Structure 1
């Protein structure tokens, strides 16, 4: 079990919305293109489960990607993520728009990103997170660097952090007890 620093737990306790970059965060940053030009991405099922657990707990999740990818649209639909933005080069402007539409403050939003295009948002949010293999300057803007790699459980690690810091871990875990009614997700 990962032990989170107290200052990170304090920031995580205020989060209502988790925004995620895709390539390098939900994936391992590889883009596979087959001989007919179809893009293939690898997603971690544990990250998906973490997202579903956050949704059960009442937190929102959104995707902000500077690329446009059909596999990302399919994965978002599969996970019930309605807030999906692709082809967005100016993530900060989009972030500000989301923050205003949701009536949230910076302290209520977490963002996971791993490259230079993510730095402006990482510099603003209440909880800025990156992965171990992030481009080195990005780590300077993160409150927390995950132990797990992008595409290999990093998002699940942050989902667990949010659930634990907000006292929702046990509540969500009860949904999966043998005697519990099945949770809807």
Structure 2
């Protein structure tokens, strides 16, 4: 007898915890079998299978691109919690995360600390220099690195990495050159979508999902 199988509840009885968990697992299996991802997603998976580092721009990628200033002149940013959870899952799967941005912000420094992001480069007017430092530090090859950006300043890196990504709100020139453009916009789940793509390419997505389903 399968030790993981459930004994059916009697007629009229509420389902057991085991039956509820198995129901969730069945739904997850069925969704995996009937994958409705876009054709572009499927094609891009082959480029995601070797990724060991995801680098991100901030404004327009981790945020919606809006800048908010207080009366005192302090800048604040709004971050998406689902993006944050996706980055944590990516790190759990052994993928490092880094940020390269031309601006500097205390809010970003706090967010990066909360998410335990390995590489944080703020005030990087020349993003290529920061990228080269990270490559030297990690010893990774370009095909093992993914980068997500939304504007012209990001092009210098997008053309150098193994997996280039843009959010739906990215400028046309960027979206035309990347391997994959997310359905979601920056600050509204674009980074989470990119994380899911990489996790699926690595063969880790369903494993992580099952792990959370068994917590029910």
TM-score tier, shorter chain, comes to over 0.9
Q: Name the structure 1 match of 2:113.
A: 77
Q: Distance in 2 between matches of 1:4 and 1:45?
A: 27
Q: Name the structure 1 match of 2:103.
A: 67
- How many residue pairs get aligned? The number is 180
Q: Establish whether residue 8 from structure 1 lines up as the match of residue 44 from structure 2.
A: yes
TM (norm. structure 1) is 0.92
Q: Distance in 2 between matches of 1:84 and 1:55?
A: 15
SS of residue paired to 2:193: helix
- For the Cα contact (< 8 Å) 1:56–1:172, is it kept in 2? no
TM (norm. structure 2) is 0.79
Deviation of residue 134 (structure 1)? 1.1
- 1:113-162 per-position Cα deviation (integer Å, ceiling 9, x unaligned): 01111000001100000112112211222111100000000000010001
> Structure 1 residues 22 and 4 mapped into 2: Cα distance closer, same or farther (>3 Å)?
farther
Would you tell me which structure has more helix in proportion to its own residues?
2
Stretches of structure 1 that go unaligned for 5 or more consecutive residues are 181-185
Deviation of residue 32 (structure 1)? 0.2
Q: Establish whether residue 160 from structure 1 lines up as the match of residue 187 from structure 2.
A: no
Runs of 4+ in 1 over 3 A off after TM superposition: 1-4
Deviation of residue 92 (structure 1)? 1.3
Q: Distance in 1 between matches of 2:190 and 2:158?
A: 16
- 1:62-93 per-position Cα deviation (integer Å, ceiling 9, x unaligned): 01010001100011111111311100011112
